[in-house]
Amino acid sequence: MNLSLHRTAVSDGCQLTVFPTANDAADAVADHLITTVRRNPKSVLGLATGQTPRRVYKSLVDAFLEGEVSFRDVATFNLDEYCGLAASHPDAFAAFMKRELFGLADFDPAKLNLIDGAAADLAAEAARYATLLHKSGGIDVQLLGLGTNGHIGFNEPGSAPDSHVRIVDLSHETLSANQPGLVELRSVPSQAITLGIADILNAREIIMLATGPAKATAVRRSLREKPSTDCPASLLTSHANIHWYLDSAAASALG
């Protein structure tokens, strides 16, 4: 475990730890998840995609390959998925998860809950996913990344605190931020299905990983300003058990 630069309590249920580098922060998140699974092999994990958690997933795979942890009894729920993309499409988040984690460790495919972005009836698919989440008994640990505009999952600014699984329109800022991560598509799909803010807040524990200078303003708004739908991540301060893992660049605007 890498030593942190600073650890503090933001509120009764909110912890903040700042690490020297992005890799240090990601490795600490991986350690946290490994500890969770060791304590409860049947944990339900909520997982995010994108550039931020890549190092986390590499560390989880390395731990599995070294015999330090098994994921065979773990259930997972993906946080979101682009509309219009089948799971096999290289730019689908389902495909990302297979490349980065699921296909490299001993996850049971029957326990991997994914959104079908290519469903003929996307509203029905959102309802199906919401029902699966409810029947699972809820998420034990939800891993999140942070959008530069403060979005969590694909809950863009203006998303209601009581929102649940639904179809959303992606903001221009999110489309631009996600463009470099595309594998095959020339432009980012304009809509997605995402867990809502209420679904995220229902998780028993939340881990927020934010790294890099581009996230500094969103981190400050989330942790230092009054909670507002203008910055969805700020709504997480009401959660009873959330831990923010930052590198020094993402924490630079906290003062």
CA distance 68 to 38: 9
Q: What angle do CA 145, 255, 3 make, to 5 degrees?
A: 60
Residues with catalytic roles: 80, 149, 151, 156
48 and 145 Cβ atoms separated by less than 8 Å: yes
254 and 240 Cβ atoms separated by less than 8 Å: no
45 and 143 Cβ atoms separated by less than 8 Å: yes
What 3-state class would DSSP assign to 227? coil
The DSSP secondary structure of 116-132, one letter per residue, reads -TT-S-HHHHHHHHHHH
Count CA atoms within 13 Å of residue 163 on its CB side.
23
What 3-state class would DSSP assign to 6? strand
* Residue with the two structure tokens 């009401």: 238
For β-strands 141-144 and 205-210, DSSP reports them as parallel
